[in-house]
Amino acid sequence: MHKELLEDIGEKELIKRLAEFMPKNQVSDDCAFVKKKNKTLLINTDSLVENIHFNDDTISALDIGWKVVASNVSDLISSGCSKIIGVNIGLVVPSKTDWIWIKDLYTGINLALNHFGGLILGGDCSMGQEKVISMTAIGLQGKIKLRRNSCKPKEIILTTGIHGLSKLGLMIKSKKIFDTDISLTKSLINSSLQQFSRPKLKPNFLKKVLKARPNKSIKMIGCTDSSDGLFQALLDLATESNCKAIIDYTKIPKHKNWPKGHKWDEYYFFGGEDYELVFSLPRKWANNLLFEDKTVTEIGYFLEGDASVSFENCDNKNLFKNKSFSHF
């Protein structure tokens, strides 16, 4: 019998197959939803693995602690979380790991929790060949549910912040030569290193969306984060909502010093770990939010059609043949 290896089937197919063991739509979003009396808990688990997501040459234990919290909290925020309750931590480390590394890791975790909210609730420790930090974050569902499968045709596609910075930060830390003809500005370097090491999130996003809502009867909107890159976020929304996303390349928000070129487009759309929000709203709601929050940008719209992502005003025809990050 032919063996199917994970490196062959890929992460998305693996998740699709694992979904067969779960209730319907349980893997449509990164968070699980558990109803408890009159409240709904949001539960999310993310893992950072040494030499896959981090290594000691590119990021400190302190910043790893911040980042593992950010990756979990971002998923809660993109599901409509109104309050972070806390986190459980599964820690796997080699027996020769320096205690100071672990102390710094947990100091970084607490720094992030002090910023975003929540406490360390508990966890587990074990020995392993490489470091693994697996975190489960728990929060409360807010007044509006944010779900990947809730985008609708004719809705406006929007995003918070800008993308690509974390990818550039990693490249700078890794000392990779990405373009010898480009001179990076100090502003771009600093912004990229900040987003890579201690990514900023949008904890007040739900409040702003609620404030801009023109019709209180609407209880659900389409949303995800760009942890796997902007293109993958758009594709996830289109796939789960069964809509066609049309993106205007000229409207994509970039850092003022972001270099031009096809390779830099690739870094921007497929970099990942920026944790910006990508979502859709009816036109009037979108206009209200754009007026109130200047960090939000309109980048396109949804149409009826096969689940896909298409670009207008983009001359890089080969760009979107690239593949998003996969864990296998």
pLDDT for 10 equals 74
Classify domain 22-141 by CATH number. 3.30.1330.10
SS3 label, residue 142: coil
pLDDT at res. 180: 67
Residue 173 has what pLDDT?
93
| 147 membership: H or E segment, kind and range | strand 145-147
Question: What pLDDT does residue 317 have?
Answer: 73
The model's pLDDT over 302-317, given as tens digits with 9 standing for 90+, comes to 999 999 999 999 888 7
Residues of the chain with pLDDT under 70: 1-2, 6, 9, 11-12, 15, 18-19, 22-35, 177-180, 321-328
Q: Which fold has domain 145-321?
A: Phosphoribosyl-aminoimidazole Synthetase; Chain A, domain 2 (3.90.650)
- What pLDDT score does 17 carry? 78
How is residue 40 written in tokens? 């709904």
Q: Do domains 22-141 and 145-321 have the same CATH topology?
A: no
pLDDT of 158-215, one tens digit each?
A: 999 999 999 999 999 998 766 667 789 999 999 999 999 999 999 999 999 999 999 8
* pLDDT reported for residue 328: 46
For the chain, the straight-line distance linking the first and the last C-alpha, in angstroms and rounded, comes to 22
Q: Considering the entire predicted model, what is its pTM?
A: 0.88
Render 31-78 in DSSP notation, one character per residue.
SEEEEETTEEEEEEEEEEEBTTTB-TTT--HHHHHHHHHHHHHHHHHT
What integer pLDDT is reported at residue 316 of this predicted model? 80
Return the pLDDT at 39.
83
Domain coordinates in residue numbering, the chain: 22-141, 145-321
